[in-house]
Amino acid sequence: MVWHQGQQLKNGEYIIESILGCGGFGDTYKAIRKYNNAQKIVPIKTLSENIQLRNDFA
């Protein structure tokens, strides 16, 4: 799954700002986390789409 700028995760707690990098196993995104009336920039790392779609993982 590829995330796009402005996409919200976890009911709006995280908002994707941009993609920072892509590697063989994962993608890293810059996001803003909203909590307690504050905002913090955080990284989010996910498995890359081609790894998620593989059926040879147990």
What tens-digit pLDDT sequence spans the chain (58 residues)? 788 999 999 999 999 999 999 888 899 999 999 988 899 999 999 988 778 777 776 5
Domain boundaries, the chain: 8-52
What pLDDT, on a 0 to 100 scale, did the predictor assign at position 7? 96
Q: What is the DSSP letter of 58?
A: -
* Dihedrals phi, psi of 12, to nearest 5 degrees: 90, 0
Per-residue pLDDT at 57? 60
Q: How far is the CA of 35 from the CAs of 1, 31, 42, 56, in angstroms?
A: 25, 13, 12, 38
Query: Within 13 Å, how many C-alpha atoms sit on residue 14's CB side?
Result: 14
Whole-prediction pTM:
0.80
Q: Where are the beta strands (DSSP E) in the chain?
A: 8-9, 14-22, 26-35, 38-47
